[in-house]
Structures are given as structure tokens and as C-alpha cells.
Structure 1
Amino acid sequence: MLTFYNENSIIMGNGQTGGEKKADGQHQEDVTIKKTLQLGEFNRRKSNENLIFFAGTDKARVITEILEERGWSRTRDHSITNFTMKWCLANQVDWSQFQEGKQLINNIPGQLAFSDKINLWYTIKDYLHNRRTSDGNHIQNFLPMTFVLDDEREVGEFLRSYKKHNRTWICKPRYSYAGRGIFVISVNSDLNAIFKFQIGNGNRIQYQPRLPGYLMQEYISRPLLIKGRKFDIRVHWLVAWTKPLLVFYNHNASAVRLSLNLYREFDFDRATHLTNLSVQENHYRYSFSQEATGMTISQLNHYFNRCFRPFHPKMCQDWVMTVMQVS
């Protein structure tokens, strides 16, 4: 709340009555505040009129209204180089033209190591291979069996595991998002949807993926569930600086996404295994089950306190809001 004082607020001597003096003083104060705000708005817009931003994605509305209200100029020319801020996809960034310290981009150099599922697998695999504990042993590999189907050798390894073990597998395209192209298979599934078959030398059957860039992973068949559903946590971070690293996080802006269907391993409905909103929205049950597909971080914290903590004595109260937040 803004508190404003001026000399007319003090009543001294004779003249107008206290009520009249207060009314005049209040009027003068209101006029002064209005003029001050108008001047501040003018100066703010004047100082921002040379600021240019590019916003070319579906989620550009996150920043468009805010920046335009503050006097920034928007351009849709993705090749522009004299921008102040660029909100775009990774393939729309020319890092060779980026002016560090003068420009902002909603991407991080090298981020394909994380956003590309195959690169992410290689990154984590290398990390686990190189990271050692103090006694010199490799840290435990917590990742499920994973195969890159572009690699002929790994295709052979996957097929041997597929035929030998009665397991469920999840297949993911490397570049997709919003659950697109992801599906779950088991030993009873038809591999024709994934591979092309041809007869090679010596009448040997060869398997080739129908589409490039797919990752096959052993499915985690006993996941942690909330209310009988699979879940993930959507967290938004603001990486303000990388040298040194400066990151902001607001748990109130985070959300927990739950699958539409109750979890059953061999139910291959995508709404049973995926929590993506785009998957849920296209399901026939979404209109009357929408409220079951999400919760806030505070609600998750309450759920852990009530349902998990009684069975795990070492778990502290409000574990979600404390330990998990800083892990």
C-alpha cells in the first residue's frame, strides 16, 4: 500500500474547519498521486520503447501481454538479430549471433542434451559411468534397461530381452513432446507396428525400425502411485544466470499431474500410463474426470503427510515442502 504525505495533510491555525481542510487535503493528495503515476507510466514507456522482443510459439502469450503493456515492441521476424528478448523454439536460435549480457533467450545452449530423449539417455549413462563413490565403486545404476532402436546392435539386444522376459516396455520418440508418439507394449504386442522385417543373408530375419529416433525402455511396472494413479510433478524454474548459477523456483506455480485412469500394468490405454494434459483432454472420460487429474504442491504435501508418513517413520512432517523442495 502506498502512503503519501504532503504539507496540506497538517492542519494548523484558524480558517477552514477540520473536515473541510481534510477534504481539500485529500483531494490535493489524490491529484498529486495521479500525476505522479502518469509521469511514471510515461517515463517507463519512454525507456522501453527501444526494447524489442520476438515471440513465435504457442505459449508466447505468457510474456506478450506483459511486455506489450510495458511498452515493448513485438516482432514476428524470427531472423531478427537486434532483439532484447527472444521467446522461441530451440531450432530458432542462432547462438553465433547472440550478444551475451545484452540479450535474453528462453533457451540454454546445449539444452538438447536434456530435451532430446536419446541424448538425455546418453548423458545420464555417461554420468553414471564416470561418477564414482568415495570407495571407488560405480554408483548404483537406477535406470531401467534402455535401447536406442537406431543402433542395429541394440535392436538385437532388445529383441533378445523382449523374447526372454515377460516384461512391459515403453517406446518413446526422441524429439516429441506432450505424449505424442509414446506407447506401451508387452510380449503379446504386435512388433509390426515398430519394426519392418526382411530376410537377410542365410535366410536370417532382420529387424529395422519403421521410424528413426525411437527409444525403447523397460517399463517400471510398480511405480509410486497417488490415489491409485501414476503422477508426475510439473516444476517451472527460472534460470536467471549460469555463471554463476542462479535459479529461481516458486512451488506455488508447480503442479502435480495424475493419469486419468487408475493404474493397471497391462491396460494399454495411454491415459493409464501418461499424465500429459494433451493425452487426457482427448480421452472420452476427461469431461467428467477432469478434477481427478491434478493437484497442487500443497495438496501433495498434505497427501504425503496423511498417507505415506504413517508407514515411513523416518519421513519428516511436510516432507514435500522441505526435503523434496531442496533435493
Structure 2
Amino acid sequence: MEKGKVTYCTDLEKSVIISNFERRGWIQVGPEDEWNFYWSFTQNCRTIFSIENGYRMNDNQIINHFPNHYELSRKDLLVKNIKRYRKELEREGNPVAEKTDVTLPNGQTVTRYMHLDFIPVTYVLPADYNMFVEEYRKSPQSTWIMKPCGKSQGAGIFLINKLSKLKKWSREAKAPFNAQFTNKETYVISRYIDNPLLIGGKKFDLRLYVLVTSFRPLKAYLFQHGFCRFCTVKYDTSVTELDNMYVHLTNVSVQKHGGDYNSLHGGKMSVQNLRLYLQGTRGRSVTEKLFDDIQWLIVHSLKAVAPVMANDRHSFECYGYDIIIDDVLKPWLVEVNASPSLQSTTHTDRILKYKLIDNIVSVVVPPDGIPDARWNKVPTVEALGDFDVLIDEELIEREDTTLRNSRFSRGKP
């Protein structure tokens, strides 16, 4: 590499990426050439990390995914990891895993985690079918949402409120599935959050960007400019609207096909405006608690996958977190995306995504601007830009040590 010249490679011909790298004076090369910074598709990243490939990255190479990022972004694995994390904390007697009895609207009493109840009750199908049926029978009128584990952008999702509908789907799905796949596709089925917070009568979810530069120690940052994505049709829980995805799914890839889609604002509202709206309608303290709860949820979902994540020093990752807020201002983690869309649907969107990429590069690249996997990954305050530190276990550890040492020295006669 020519001294001071950084080469980059990307699988996404997105202008928000290319214009960012060009502005830094970086030079584009192909994946076979010598690159320093690779913004890759998840699939290509897997190939690079595969043992069969035999590719070894050098110190001046970094890439935008962890080898097994799917532990967080595959719906079934995320649920499995969170369930395991809760159980481990419970065994240790950690107060974070405390449980309490909760009375549901139908009068039924259930035991829930006090602090770790941030994913809806979820089962993986077909493996957990019997457990799901048992849970379903406790409150037979409830609505559940089915999602294929390996798909994104709202593909293949549907709602059910009768077991017969699931059985019918299972019968119909068997033939085509077995023809297409050797192993039957897995689905997750989750209790549908049917009391979402509505604004203007419409359901929305939050898309937040979380940058992880290391899983052990955990270092994660939250981008300040998240946004709400709204449905184009007013929310309606009636059975007749159960199949209307414009009512239930907030994915832009679904909503943009609706007749009421507004391409000017793209059905989006900034997190800052959401905060102001909630402060005005619900009050400051509950709004602050909601945003604290959201940060708590993100940190603990990352802690849940940290032990199983291949913490490669060449890797960083920007995850797209999808969160739904219910009408009592409780946040629920819906899913995590390993390749959040960099498609700009509006002018504001384009500015936001350009800034996101710019800030990511500033955080993951050392101060001298040359990618280095040996770097200690401690960005300056200026380099953070619009990222806030969510958690930095290394700094926590360092502060603890300093505190212990200062106490020890104070204790000297």
C-alpha cells in the first residue's frame, strides 16, 4: 500500500458509501485487490471468513460484519440467545434476572422477568410447536405474528388468531417447502403487540442504528438520528384487517406500495420529534424512562450474544434495531438487522445515511485515518460525531481499577 493511501472495496454501489469514501481521498479497488476497508454484503463477508476460503486478513484490513453476525440478526437465534442469557443470570442469582407476577388484561396471571422482559413471548416453529399450542390455549383470542427466520423487509410475514389458520398454513406449506428446501424453513411466532402506541391513529416502529466495534470487551454506540416508520393506514385490530399488512407492518419496503404512501416524508419522523411529542403528551419523566429502557434493551441484547459472537478484531458492525413502543410506553425489541437499508427514500433520509456512514468510519478507523486491526478502538469525543456511547466495558473496567487503586492508596497510613 502506498503510504497514506487507503483503498476500499464495496459490494453496495450506494452513493452514500462511495461519496463518503471518495471525500476521504480513498481509492476504490476490487475484492481481489489489496483493500483496507471492505463494506460488504453479509454473504460475501461469510465467504471471506470461511475456513475453506483460507483468506487471512492483515492488520491494515477491516470489514463491516462480524463472522457470525446472524447470532443477533436471525430472529430464531436472537430469541435463543436472549433466553439463554436470562437463564444464566438467573442461575447466578443476578438481580437483573428477577421475576415478578403480572396480571394480563384478560385477568390471567403470568410470571415475567422484571428487567429482561423486552422481547414478546416467542417460539421457533416447527421445533416449539407443542409449547406454542400450550401457550396459545391460555388465551385463545390472542393474535400472533409469524415470520420466516431467514427473510427480511416484511417478506412472508402473516398474522394468526386461530390455531386452525396455523394448521391450514402448515398443511399447505409442506409440499412447496419440501420441494424448495432440503430442510423445512424455520419460522418464529411471537405474541403480537396489539396495543401499540399510536400517533395520528397509526402504528409505527423505531429504527435505531447501533454500532458495535467489539463484543469482548463490549463496545457499542447509539446513533442519535434514529427515526419512526409509520404505517400508511390507521391501526385497526378488527379481524377483517388481520391480513392488511399496511395496517400492521411498518417496513418501508411494504408501505411504499400502499396507495397512501407519502414519498415526501416517506412516512418517517425523527426520534427527536418523537421525544418532543411524548414529552408534550405524556410528560418528561416517563419519556426519559422510555429512552433509558430502550438503551437498556439494546445493551442486554448485545450482552446476550457477546459470548457466542466470533469477536474478530478486523470486524465492526452497524445494526439496525427495530423497536415497537406500546401504549404504556414499554419498548419491545422486534428484530435486529445486520444490513440496515442504505436506500434513501427522501432528501432527509439521504443526509441522515450519509452522516451515519461518515460517523461510522470516524469511529472505527484510528485517528491517523488508516484502518488498523491492532488499534485499541477508543475513539476521541470528536470522532464519535453523532454517536453516543451505549457501553464500553473496557472503560468501565479501567475506571473500576482506578477507583480501587485510589481507595487502596488512600487507605495507606
Q: 1:241 to 1:81 in 2, by over 3 A?
A: farther
Name the counterpart of 1:125: 83
Q: 1:100 to 1:240 in 2, by over 3 A?
A: farther
Question: Residue by residue, what CA displacement relative to the aligned partner does 1:188-214 show, whole Å, maximum 9, x if unpaired?
Answer: 87346621279xxxxxxxx89955121
Percent identical among aligned pairs is: 25
Which residue type is aligned with residue 9 of structure 2?
F
Name the counterpart of 2:233: 261
Which residue type is aligned with residue 67 of structure 1?
F
Q: Within 2, Cα distance between the matches of 1:233 and 1:83? A: 35
Q: How does 1:249-288 map to 2 (within 5 A)?
A: 249-251=222-224, 253-266=225-238, 267-268=241-242, 269-287=244-262
Which one of 6, 15, 21 corresponds to residue 61 of structure 1? 15
Measured after TM superposition, the shift of residue 150 of structure 1 is 3.1
Question: Residue by residue, what CA displacement relative to the aligned partner does 1:231-287 show, whole Å, maximum 9, x if unpaired?
Answer: 222122333455554444331x32121222222223221121111111110112214
Which residue type is aligned with residue 219 of structure 1?
Y
Q: Within 2, Cα distance between the matches of 1:177 and 1:197? A: 22
Asked if residue 302 in structure 1 is aligned to residue 276 in structure 2, the reply is yes
Instruction: Mark the runs of 5 or more structure 1 residues left unpaired by the alignment.
Output: 1-45, 199-206, 310-314
Q: Within 1, Cα distance between the matches of 2:291 and 2:26? A: 39
Q: 1:175 to 1:65 in 2, by over 3 A?
A: same
Asked if residue 223 in structure 1 is aligned to residue 196 in structure 2, the reply is yes
Which residue type is aligned with residue 126 of structure 2?
D
Question: Residue by residue, what CA displacement relative to the aligned partner does 1:280-306 show, whole Å, maximum 9, x if unpaired?
Answer: 101122148x64822112211111111
Q: Within 1, Cα distance between the matches of 2:191 and 2:126? A: 17
Instruction: Mark the runs of 5 or more structure 2 residues left unpaired by the alignment.
Output: 100-111, 178-183, 297-413
Runs of 4+ in structure 1 off by over 6 angstroms are none
Which residue type is aligned with residue 162 of structure 2?
V
The TM-score normalised by the length of structure 1 is: 0.67
Q: Within 1, Cα distance between the matches of 2:215 and 2:36? A: 18
Which residue type is aligned with residue 195 of structure 2?
R
Q: Within 2, Cα distance between the matches of 1:258 and 1:123? A: 29
Which one of 152, 167, 178 corresponds to residue 153 of structure 2? 178
Q: In the alignment, is the contact (CA less than 8 A) between 1:48 and 1:71 conserved in 2?
A: no
Q: Larger relative contact order (C-alpha < 8 A, sep ≥ 6)?
A: 2
Q: Within 2, Cα distance between the matches of 1:150 and 1:126? A: 19
SS in 2 for 1:170: strand
Q: 1:82 to 1:292 in 2, by over 3 A?
A: closer
Q: In the alignment, is the contact (CA less than 8 A) between 2:206 and 2:228 conserved in 1?
A: yes
Name the counterpart of 1:5: none
Which residue type is aligned with residue 122 of structure 2?
T
Q: In the alignment, is the contact (CA less than 8 A) between 1:172 and 1:215 conserved in 2?
A: yes
Q: How does 1:90-105 map to 2 (within 5 A)?
A: 90-93=42-45, 94-95=48-49, 97-99=55-57, 101-105=59-63
Q: 1:175 to 1:100 in 2, by over 3 A?
A: farther
Q: Within 1, Cα distance between the matches of 2:75 and 2:9? A: 27
Q: Within 2, Cα distance between the matches of 1:84 and 1:193? A: 52
Which residue type is aligned with residue 227 of structure 2?
A
